[in-house]
Structure 1
């Protein structure tokens, strides 16, 4: 196993292939394994770097909620790049990882060749904000009290997963088996320290308006909490593209891996060609 150190925390890292690096950043319910289809595809031409966030074994699981947060997620990506000896990379993230990807680009634009932000925006709607915080606190409590397997049942079967379950039952079951293997403590503290404290997409408007990094924004058309934030990012980020994926919910890279790989590849390749020109 290989580990990158990030401010005293060890992060499990895998690197596959050679070439321009791409860093893949997983969602709350996922880990580095969620990117297997992308690593197999992109690893033919790129260096693919995946890692487990803090709180996700075999990465360290700090027991202090103050060791979890948006700023730390950004620094963790930066330190994974430093571990790889890369001065910059394409950054691809889903959901929680999409938030981290956006904030990484805002904080370290010189280290981001491009940003691909997938399914980011949950908790941003001001009308539903209090409900999001309430539901997140309940989830954090359930994980510690019941353990992962029982604690995730409601979350894993929510409406933002329904198309995945319909289209790929076997993949959906595998995803949830992996989810259930996570640390209950790490997932609970991630919810409280990161998910519930991060700025909403709308709160980042002024910073996004000056973001100089080419950005691809992706959302499933049935992932309702993410559609308006995706449109907002498209309208606010100067060099942004938007792809809305039909009959798809949250984890687009898992629900529609072939389409996702093709669109992301075309975007990343076009960015690299423009840099060379």
Structure 2
């Protein structure tokens, strides 16, 4: 088993496959590095692929101190994985919680990002849902500890934005639910309390996002309601940002629609490599929609 050590001493388990430009995958709250299997098999044909388990997800360390869990540390862990593997710059792909980590990595360490894929990120960002998001997140944390992961995974995996996955791919959804049930209940609870409930809203980062120069692709499902508006906000705010809305798709995009997901990222990475994923041309701004002179 392979580990890197974060700057605060936390051990992070990772797996690596392939050769080429580094491509790092950052998993969602309900997943772990196993969630990226369709992507590791696809992209390792042309890229050096690395996926790791976040802190709180064994066999990575599961710290007992809430101070060891935060959005800031989640972004730093991406950097520390790169440092541990002697990677100067990388493409980074994140889903949901991992999408937030990817976004904050790009903001905090822009010189280390070749490109950023931010998928299914936005839940809790909408200002009018902030209080609800924080309260229900704390309840989720309590239920992981009260019921244990094996039991509570049966409830958590039935959230509204997971149903599209269940209907399309029952076997894939069952595997997702089984993996979730194997997570550390303590680690899941601490992650929910320390990272999810305390992370800043995307909307509060507007000035920093407008200065983010890295090429970015945002992917959301059209049935992942609380990620749609944040996705549009990112498109309108980050200079070199593209937005893909996948039809009839929920939250677990990389597993629910692996073919579309992989193809979109393939095209994005190829365009970035050609230096053609550029900020929006001023001539294409909304104010120029009807030319009169």
Q: What TM-score, normalized by structure 2, do the two folds share?
A: 0.93
Shift of 1:153: 2.8
Give the number of the structure whose alpha-carbon radius of gyration is greater: 2
Instruction: Give 3-state SS (helix, strand or coil) of 1:207's partner.
Output: helix
Residue aligning to 1:3: 3
Between the aligned partners of 2:183 and 2:153, the Cα distance in structure 1 is 10
Q: Which residues of 2 match residues 55-70 of structure 1 at below 5 A?
A: 55-70=56-71
Shift of 1:127: 1.7
Residue aligning to 1:274: 275
Residue aligning to 2:84: 83
Instruction: Give 3-state SS (helix, strand or coil) of 2:208's partner.
Output: helix
Between the aligned partners of 2:244 and 2:126, the Cα distance in structure 1 is 20
1:20 has 2:36 as partner: no
Shift of 1:151: 2.1
Residue aligning to 2:124: 123
Shift of 1:67: 0.3
Shift of 1:89: 0.3
Q: Which residues of 2 match residues 22-41 of structure 1 at below 5 A?
A: 22-41=23-42
Shift of 1:83: 1.5
Unaligned regions of 5+ residues in structure 1, if any?
A: none
Between the aligned partners of 1:78 and 1:124, the Cα distance in structure 2 is 24
Q: What TM-score, normalized by structure 1, do the two folds share?
A: 0.98
Instruction: Give 3-state SS (helix, strand or coil) of 1:103's partner.
Output: helix
Which deviations, in whole Å up to 9, do the C-alpha atoms of 1:154-195 show, x marking residues without a partner?
A: 321011101000000000000010000000000000000000
Q: Which residues of 2 match residues 155-194 of structure 1 at below 5 A?
A: 155-194=156-195
CA RMSD of aligned residues (A): 0.8
Unaligned regions of 5+ residues in structure 2, if any?
A: 277-293
Residue aligning to 1:203: 204
1:243 has 2:244 as partner: yes
Between the aligned partners of 1:126 and 1:104, the Cα distance in structure 2 is 22
Between the aligned partners of 1:224 and 1:208, the Cα distance in structure 2 is 22
Shift of 1:207: 0.4
Count, aligned residues: 275
Shift of 1:126: 1.7
Residue aligning to 1:264: 265
1:98 has 2:111 as partner: no
Residue aligning to 1:142: 143
Between the aligned partners of 2:58 and 2:158, the Cα distance in structure 1 is 23
Instruction: Give 3-state SS (helix, strand or coil) of 1:128's partner.
Output: helix
